[in-house]
Structure 1
Amino acid sequence: MSDIAGAYEKTGYLNKHYKFFHLKDSDSRKFDYHYHDFDKIIYLLNGRADYMIEGKKYLLEPHDFIFVNRNEIHKPIVDFSIPYERMILYIDHSFIEGYAKDDYDLSECFGRTFKEKTNVVRFPAVVTRELYETLRRMEENDKTSGYAGELYGELLFLEFMVQMNRACLENEFAYHHTAKYNKKIIDIIQYINENLSEELSIDDLSENFYMSKYHMMRQFKEETGYSIHQYTLEKRIVTARSMLLNGVPAMVAAMECGFKDYSTFARAFKKKLGSMPSKIKG
């Protein structure tokens, strides 16, 4: 088992189809809000933790699975009186999307989090055990240098994704709907994400959601860790980046994500991501 949590945010990138971690933290530390341009599944082995995802607070129990979709802003809040242990999979969304056929889709387990309006699933023990065993085999394969180890690891990853999607489809009551959240703020988050091409001014949001500007801004910050301006800018940039990776021209991505001109977009993009939009190739 590798204990690399100290470098977790610095290593939050993915340059292959999937990446597996088994982390265990005993020393107290604070996790910041962050997001990734890949999907993530977390299996909580041990610990006391809540998980904040896009304004919702999930009270976790050991053996919960947490689904974090790409670009979702999130962080754990951990009670370090006992060790915080989890297995994590970083997943290239385009890779599992490539396995979408008429009768199955390996990204369905992520898609259902939107349908069910929750990011946490809690399976029966026998189902959880089967999923854990496959993760354990992935970990053992990573530790060894056996014949065709990389290929075997990918096969185990695909086996896990098949098992996970079957589990999600066959256990309709596994979706955990007890998250704590402010419904108004969740509605604002949804509205922002669905209207990135619009101006999204504080005045307009305040009027649309019948909240005073200052109360809305304070509540949003408390629930998400971001100001409304920060959140909107982050979402515009990461959405534009996803569009660029899919071959959308930079000017089109800028306009569809709410930037009034290319120069403003390019400055914001470079400041946040460290490179110009023209360097992103689909």
Structure 2
Amino acid sequence: MKEILHYSSDYFTLNHTINDSPHNIDTHIHDCYELFYFISGGLTYYIEGQVYELHPHDIIITNARELHRIVFHSNDCYERKYIHFSPEYISSFQIEEYNMFHFIERRKLGYFNKISAKDVREAGIDKMWAQMEETALSHSPEKIILMKTYFIQMLINMNNIFMTYNNPLVTSQSYNQKVVAILEFINKNLDKKITLHLLETEFFVNKYYLCHIFKKSTGFTVMEYLTYKRIMWAMDLLLSGDSALDVAHRVGFGDYSTFYKAFKNITGSSPRQYCNQ
């Protein structure tokens, strides 16, 4: 992998890399927002049950609650840029009359994540991104200020694009309604015992076919998705002060050892280590 650019400051990271031998990127979330600028490669981007086929200069936006993964279907050179940022990065510029994170945060999970290359170019987002890269490589004393001003302008332009995407007159991506219903059911019942047999009965569909369409539509197995969503909920509960044992039962795990292994596998740390960090 060749790193073209890596710039990092408080609550903000800008990166540009090229990879000649890409490998699938497993299911994950970030503890921040991500702007993913696709340049080249053969891949499919899965977000919360939705599938996005990407073309050069498309941008994918995810927030800290959206599970996503990338599956490569060719050995083509993979080039992409990304920005990771937290709200604190531009908190001093937020005003009551205008929320720059409105469309990033208030979308239905997995919906309207992609800004097309056409809109990226027409809104000048590609040029603003290039300005940020150029500024990040400079040594000017005003660099930090310029980075924020370019970034804020870019966010505002993205919000303007999302306003048109949320217009009912705009044709939206087609979704497998059965899978959407299953996803909604899972997210509303994370604290309950959910099995393939229960889903089969609830949605009147053979469990083997259900697994097939779920995996094909989302990139996740049913149990993988369920486990990730439960651990995400557990992370919030642990930070609110609940004990790990209480959290394990509250988020639907039958025993603590299963919860502990799943938590460590997904987060990389034990519940206690996570709270201390």
Q: Give the TM-score band, short-chain normalised.
A: 0.7 to 0.9
* SS of alignment partner, residue 86 of structure 1: strand
Which of 68, 92, 96 is the matching residue for 1:73? 68
Which of 144, 160, 166 is the matching residue for 2:160? 166
Matched, 1:35 2:34: no
CA gap 1:263/1:155 in 2 versus in 1, 3 angstroms = farther
Distance in 2, Cα, partners of 1:63 & 1:127? 8
2:2 alignment partner in structure 1: 3
| Counterpart residue type for residue 272 of structure 2 | S
CA gap 1:126/1:261 in 2 versus in 1, 3 angstroms = closer
* SS of alignment partner, residue 278 of structure 1: helix
Distance in 2, Cα, partners of 1:256 & 1:100? 35
CA gap 1:104/1:187 in 2 versus in 1, 3 angstroms = same
TM-score after normalising by structure 1: 0.77
Which of 84, 87, 90 is the matching residue for 2:84? 90
* SS of alignment partner, residue 28 of structure 2: coil
The Cα shift of 1:267 comes to 4.0
Distance in 2, Cα, partners of 1:69 & 1:22? 20
Distance in 1, Cα, partners of 2:126 & 2:252? 43
Matched, 1:137 2:131: yes
2:50 alignment partner in structure 1: 56
2:206 alignment partner in structure 1: 212
The Cα shift of 1:107 comes to 1.7
Paired residues for 1:198-209 under 5 Å: 198-209=192-203
CA gap 1:248/1:166 in 2 versus in 1, 3 angstroms = farther
Distance in 1, Cα, partners of 2:207 & 2:178? 13
Distance in 1, Cα, partners of 2:93 & 2:255? 37
The Cα shift of 1:148 comes to 4.7
Distance in 1, Cα, partners of 2:101 & 2:166? 17
Distance in 2, Cα, partners of 1:128 & 1:77? 28
Distance in 2, Cα, partners of 1:171 & 1:164? 11
Which of 93, 103, 112 is the matching residue for 2:97? 103
1:239 alignment partner in structure 2: 233
* SS of alignment partner, residue 198 of structure 1: coil
CA gap 1:150/1:261 in 2 versus in 1, 3 angstroms = farther
CA gap 1:116/1:211 in 2 versus in 1, 3 angstroms = closer
Distance in 2, Cα, partners of 1:223 & 1:213? 15
Distance in 2, Cα, partners of 1:213 & 1:132? 45
* SS of alignment partner, residue 114 of structure 1: coil
* SS of alignment partner, residue 67 of structure 2: coil
2:141 alignment partner in structure 1: 147
- State the superposition RMSD in angstroms: 3.6
The answer as to whether partners of 1:122 and 1:175 remain within 8 angstroms in 2 is no
TM-score after normalising by structure 2: 0.78
Identity over aligned residues, as a percent? Answer: 25
1:18-54 CA distance string (max 9 Å, x none): 21122334x3433233222232112233455432223
| Counterpart residue type for residue 266 of structure 1 | Y
The Cα shift of 1:167 comes to 3.2
Of stretches 141-150 and 110-119 in structure 1, the one that deviates more from structure 2 is 110-119
Matched, 1:272 2:271: no
CA gap 1:268/1:133 in 2 versus in 1, 3 angstroms = same
Equivalent pairs counted in the alignment come to 270
The answer as to whether partners of 2:230 and 2:252 remain within 8 angstroms in 1 is yes
